[in-house]
A and B are shown apart, each in its own frame.
Chain A
Amino acid sequence: MTTENGVSLAARGLTRVYRRGIEEIQALDGVTLQIRRGEFVAFMGPSGSGKTTLVNLLGCLDNPSSGELDLAGRSIFGNGKILGERELTRIRREVFGYIFQNFYLIPTLTVRENVALPLAFYHKPGVEGEVERLLGMLGMEHRMDHLPGQISGGEMQRVAIARALVNRPEILLADEPTGNLDTKRSGEIGEVLQDLNRNAGITIVMVTHNPGLAKLGGRLIEMRDGQAYEN
């Protein structure tokens, strides 16, 4: 899902203002950028710099206060258009896969069931057998019937990655995917993401504090005070 020139996501002047009581917090201040299909983009920056806010907007988890966002040439936000939860959900399940720092696996479901969970709500055609294939690809085939409490943190994040990929998304959004992992496990997850980008052609948009992980992406964007800076 790209435009003719290969652009997946195009943001123009994205702004996000939060209200906390009478205080207004400008989390994002007119960010303009393009992400092309198959890119691995890493966002780095100090806490409160707006990187997670930006990724949430790019991933249609939130509406911007102003600015425009095109997804594969289709206008998602712009000219004051606010999308409802149902519309955002439709876009999310078609296009995006998400992984988070805290994995959010369901403790009473096995690894296999956790990966298959998105299919209970939305089943993209042609994804039969994807659960086992992904778990095999991520080296988790021997843990399929284990509960999340019986596997390590690194393995949990692999399961979360498999779950994010089960409906074959175009774009994988990763918010601090190694934030809860030690250096060794972080390296392993980084390799998995790099492999997915290089070999499966999945566009990856990642927020991280880890410079080593950020270097794995072909593109590094630094966030400061709600603005994006790219060398």
Chain B
Amino acid sequence: MISRFQIAYKNLLRKKARTLLTLVGIMLSAWVLVSLLGFNRGYESALNRDIDNMGYQLMVMAKGCPYEAATMMLQGGTGLRYIEQSMVDSIVNRPEVDKVTPILMQAFFDPDKGDGGGIAGYFGVEAATFPAMKPFFRFRQGGWFHDEQALEAVMGFEAAELEQREVGDPILVPEKNVQLKVVGILERTGTQDDGTIFVPLKTLQKISAIDKITTIGIKVKKDADTTKLETSLYQLPDVQVVSFTQVKQTIMKLVATARVMVLSIAIIALLIAMVGVVNTILMSVLERLQEIGILKTMGAMPSDIFFLVWTETLILCSCGGVAGIGLAFVFARLSDILVRRVLPYAPGGELVAIDLKLALLTLAVIVVVGLLSGIYPAWKAGRVRPLESIRGE
């Protein structure tokens, strides 16, 4: 016995090159589609995670572009202006404020980093206040600084991997030639903190010969009025208040524009694949008119022929879809790297997040679109009259 599925499958094997090219078309469409949907989801959750993991909802910094400042804060950028450390005292006692931590961000050029050198980000933080902002920090080795003026450093996971440092090893602050001792290495957090080197605030101030700070991180009390606090903070002289909710919204707006463009491209890719499917199946039907006629003399109903041709479409789309989704899984990391190269700001962690649910959703889209494409050729095949087709009319 032979099943209809086997008949459909073996029909596709007749013109192997054509079937393969159609499969590749569907596969690429599925790859693009699932990667874009994965990016859509991954970017937003990575951004949310990054911002939530900042540990504070508001930042106070010297006047300037707040979004640029926030971005630099996230990326460990340079060129920031400074504020007086005493400002911390004027903020900490406000009723809406839960916790406050002063931060000094410094970036030094490290000629040994990467191919042509790179920027090493150092965060001067207080061991007394900063860890409370980041309760999710876990140490792979060691712990926080022993005192606020120690020549010690705590390294983020990736920074330690890159520098190949263990607890007890020395590290040299580039440009300043000051040696610090690594006292702690953090577990991976999937955020920008992974690439950061934390140093006691006073130590970094001394190394940089600056007695000021760049940022004050503010954790707001639960249910407190953040907007009211924000407004009151603007009363402080020459400061800019950055709300991470706003930063997130702004970045998501920018990304949404790019997303619309990219999704348009994905839809076009899908349409091209659809035309490919119509072409392949229609050609295959037209080449087999006589055989279809013979199948009808054998007792195949028009609906049998319709579903036979539709099954061919289903096989093509399912195989192409599964292959494309498989490729997307395999090359998710590569897509991640490419996306990071293109985007002006990319949060840490997984940017292209593809899971089983998304994979099944994409497969369903591909199969449904494919089946829609197969309707016309299948309908045409179902309408073949045996006599005319056998005569070759």
Contacts and interface: CB of A to CB of B under 8 A. Distances in A.
A89 B299 contact: yes
Interface in A142-158: none
B178 interface: no
B299 A167 contact: yes
Contact of B298 (A102, A107, A163): A163
Contacts of A86: 301-302
B387 A117 contact: no
Interface string A84-121: 01100100110010101010101111000100111111
Contacts of B63: none
A56 interface: yes
A104 B392 CA distance: 12
A96 B294 CA distance: 13
B2 A121 contact: no
Q: What DSSP secondary structure best describes chain B's contact surface?
A: helix
Given A92-B299, A116-B2, A117-B298, A109 B387 contact: no
B146 interface: no
Contact of A122 (B3, B298, B302, B390): B298
A98 B297 contact: yes
Nearest to B290: A104
Contacts of A56: 387
Interface residues on B, range: 20 to 34
Nearest to A85: B302
A108 B291 contact: no
Interface string B1-45: 111101100110110000000000000000000000000000000
Interface of A: 56, 61-62, 85-86, 89, 92-93, 96, 98, 100, 102, 104, 106-109, 113, 116-122, 131, 163, 167
Interface in B287-326: 290-291, 294-302, 304
14 contacts: A61-B297, A85-B296, A85-B302, A86-B301, A89-B296, A92-B296, A96-B297, A100-B390, A102-B290, A104-B291, A116-B2, A120-B1, A121-B299, A131-B1
B290 A117 contact: no
A106 B8 CA distance: 11
Contact of A109 (B2, B386, B390): B2
A85 B300 CA distance: 10
Contacts of A106: 7, 10-11, 291
Nearest to B1: A116
A120 B4 contact: yes
Nearest to A160: B294
A95 to B, nearest CB: 10
Contact of A108 (B1, B3, B13, B386): B13
B259 interface: no
B294 A107 contact: no
B385 interface: yes
Contacts of A109: 2, 7, 10
A92 B297 contact: yes
A146 to B, nearest CB: 15
Given A61-B387, A109-B7, 19 more contacts: A56-B387, A85-B296, A86-B301, A89-B296, A89-B301, A93-B299, A98-B294, A100-B390, A104-B390, A108-B11, A108-B13, A118-B299, A120-B1, A120-B2, A120-B4, A121-B295, A122-B299, A163-B298, A167-B299
A89 B300 CA distance: 7
